[in-house]
Structure 1
């Protein structure tokens, strides 16, 4: 598109300044909306053009929203060109971030992602941020175009009166868009063809465009209030599980005879078994050291609620016993709910009440996912980030802190603390991006892939080989420790490879539930340096790790954990797109009793996250538990 500057200038001069500002803002809005779709649709101009033709109503409503954002800034700043520049730069940055997230994680940008804006530099590094020559040329061309236009176009002034009117109108329209499901914008959007698909966010954004994809998630609270929610209903659930807890507890003896074992949770970043890609051959098993541990101790698979990212949601389940199954898709409860709490019941607070020294270790920035505030609310006495750790060795100069360094930190704390400890360690070694040489020289070769895919998977395999060795070093060291100690190890989610590694390696199955299960299962084991029953853990969700541990130690259960035990006994694997039953088979239908159990679970979860907390403290009363 070529702009005839003289013609445009002539037209503008014939109108009042405000009319010129409106026209200019309109043009900027259309272009910005096109660019947002350009980033949304893989930088394909023809795909954007085709989408606009097929969804002209949605496109119009989208750029109208941007138009009023531009007018809002104009009313604040007062200078048309400055406000246009700010609007344009912000929207291009958002579009690029969306494109980058889609390419790395397969998911679009959500409103909740803006919580991490203060960590933008670190986020850019974590997802493999780089600026190509093409990006630089594009940025320079845009800057040059703006400078040229500003020099050639006439100066425009907008009176204070018109700025006030514009401010008021734009606030009204922007508010209506931000709450579009409640007002007249919803009617217009429905007429234009907007159909919100919250359970499939990539489709939601592709169908409705970036603007309405993003807007549809603004009102996406972690949970909607269940119809049956009331104090009376919650009290009935509490009474039911008080009786259940008493039944369970009558049959229990404290396995450790009063001695409190150290408990270590190791949530290993992006740890998974790539040999499950059946069409590939590996020169050696990358995690053979881990399988040796698993063969001697309770082990199975974790059904991660996430794929490729959102680590905090996995530890949310593991530490609280609550499930992402009950939440609205794309939720991040750490940031949306728990960061606002001063205290929140968890396995951490339970152990803290029993005299445990509770410590969280994460060898990266403490503010990510608001961990710095969330961990305190969960009951951690202390939290060590990357700058607080004594051990920070890396596998290469540009790598993250190694898993072995985390192991050394854990062992150091155990050996220098008299109280029994609960340590929750979240590693970083295998976090994206997967870059050649990051984990040292690759010692594993893979056949069945070529080129960049082969190198990517070999580099990843080298990383998890080092992680498995670190876990072997941890259990070897603990075997020499006189204090009873338990390790609960699990990978948080599968890696999100940059291209279709899973499809090319034959990972996709005909049954979508089976495919989802394969894309969700990571290694899991529970190790102890003292005699403890060995169990086949099969496939379970992280929400049931706490109750499984209490059960294996024959510890009395509070009503809350009695509820989790009931659910786990029927549906140990609970995820929105796949469920696994107690026989380790995929479950596609729920019985009436199971539906009732899950509804009770949902009510308690809502009560804790969004409701009045009627269930506290009765649901978590462990006064009858052995000390």
Structure 2
């Protein structure tokens, strides 16, 4: 996507050419938002229909990606520079089998954007912490900067991306915000390469939930189709999220057009890395012809 001749996500676009990209990945979250996406990706079960899995089922026993990784000798950690108790994460992360949960208390809050620590600083610090971990390891990073409402009164993103007539609209704010988050992804890749981790890791990028609110349907319709409003089918089609897997030395790259979701990540990674994954509702996307 370009706006006024400028790429909105140049780093993700570059990464896509070196990765396996799922063109029809849709979010599958319910009331739990980001926490539902974490649950889908790490457990391959659907979230709760009512309430949130992280509150309702934190006392349960799960088969999960971090537990499966630990069975193979991996150290596991989840990193999210936000309030530690949000979404009832401490007991749920324990149930999911993470060895460590690093939250805002474990990071230097030296660069703030929106809800908390800016992705740029978060990724730099996260890679430093990875370098201190025993290999092999599984780390699960949850970023903050691209969250609604997409703006910070103390940070002007107009110098990053000129959105022209969209300036001051939710859609314009979103595009500038995603451009800012994309800049941070470039930093993450650079830091992983400098730490000699990039070509020794499978790195997964995925979007967790909806971005543009339904009441801004008209702005999205204007950007995508030059029309006043998206019909129901067009709106549903617009609910895609990023999902791509990068392999060491760009070993597997290309495009996959299956209809997939976050629920497919655990079985896909488990089979790829030789982990146990007996109970799951998702599919191994590297070994299926149907979504």
TM more than 0.5: yes
Question: What's the CA shift for 1:368?
Answer: 1.2
Match of 1:84 in 2: none
In the alignment, the residues of structure 2 paired with residue 411 and residue 522 of structure 1 have an alpha-carbon distance, to the nearest angstrom, of: 24
Query: Are residues 303 and 466 of structure 1, via their aligned partners in 2, closer, same or farther at CA, if it must alter by over 3 Å?
Result: same
Is the CA contact (8 Å cut-off) linking 1:478 and 1:529 kept in structure 2?
no
User: How far does the alpha carbon of each residue in 1:236-258 deviate from its partner, in whole angstroms, 9 at most, with x for none?
Assistant: xxxxxxxxxxxxxxxxxxxxxxx
Segments of 5+ residues of structure 1 without an aligned counterpart are 1-274, 573-627
Please show how residues 100-499 of structure 1 align to structure 2 within 5 Å.
275=1, 281-301=3-23, 302-306=25-29, 310-324=33-47, 328=49, 330-337=50-57, 339-341=58-60, 343-389=61-107, 391-396=108-113, 400-435=116-151, 437=153, 439-443=155-159, 444-447=161-164, 449=166, 452-453=168-169, 456-483=170-197, 484-497=200-213, 499=216
Provide the secondary structure at the position in 2 that maps to 1:365. Answer: coil
Which structure shows the bigger proportion of residues in helix conformation? Answer: 1
Q: 1:504 to 1:482 in 2, by over 3 A?
A: closer
1:558-614: per-residue Cα shift (whole Å, max 9, x none)?
433697339x83653xxxxxxxxxxxxxxxxxxxxxxxxxxxxxxxxxxxxxxxxxx
Contact 1:307 / 1:496 at 8 angstroms: preserved in 2? no
CA 296–564 in structure 1, closer or farther in 2 if over 3 Å, else same: closer
Q: Which position in structure 1 is the counterpart of 2:288?
A: 569
Residues 307, 460 of structure 1: CA spacing in aligned structure 2 closer, same or farther, 3 A cutoff?
A: farther
- Aligned counterpart, 1:536: 255
Q: Is the contact between residue 288 and residue 468 of structure 1 (CA under 8 Å) also seen in structure 2?
A: yes
Rounded to whole Å, the distance in 1 between the matches of 2:277 and 2:171 is 44
Tell me if structure 2 keeps the 8 A contact 1:358–1:380.
Answer: yes
Please state how far the C-alpha of 1:384 moved relative to its aligned partner.
Answer: 0.9
2:242 counterpart of 1:523: yes
Post-superposition shift, 1:283? 4.4
* RCO higher in structure (CA 8 A, sep ≥6): 2
Contact 2:124 2:191 survives alignment (8 Å): no
Task: Tell me the TM-score normalised to structure 1 length.
Answer: 0.41
- Alignment: residue pair count: 281
Per the alignment, in what secondary structure is the counterpart of residue 123 of structure 2?
helix
State the 1:412 CA deviation: 0.8
Could you tell me how far 1:441 is from its partner in structure 2? Answer: 3.4
Give the drift of 1:314: 1.2
Alpha-carbon separation, structure 1, partners of 2:54 and 2:5: 40
Gaps of 5+ in 2: none
Describe the SS at the equivalent of 1:434. Answer: coil
Contact (CA 8 Å) 1:303, 1:541: kept in 2 or not?
Answer: yes
- For 1:565 and 1:503, locate their aligned partners in 2 and report how far apart those are by CA, in whole Å: 34
Preserved CA contact (<8 Å) 1:320 1:346: yes
Deviations 1:20-62 (A, max 9, x none): xxxxxxxxxxxxxxxxxxxxxxxxxxxxxxxxxxxxxxxxxxx
Q: CA RMSD in A?
A: 3.1
Please give the alpha-carbon distance, in whole angstroms, between the structure 2 residues aligned to 1:465 and 1:434.
Answer: 11
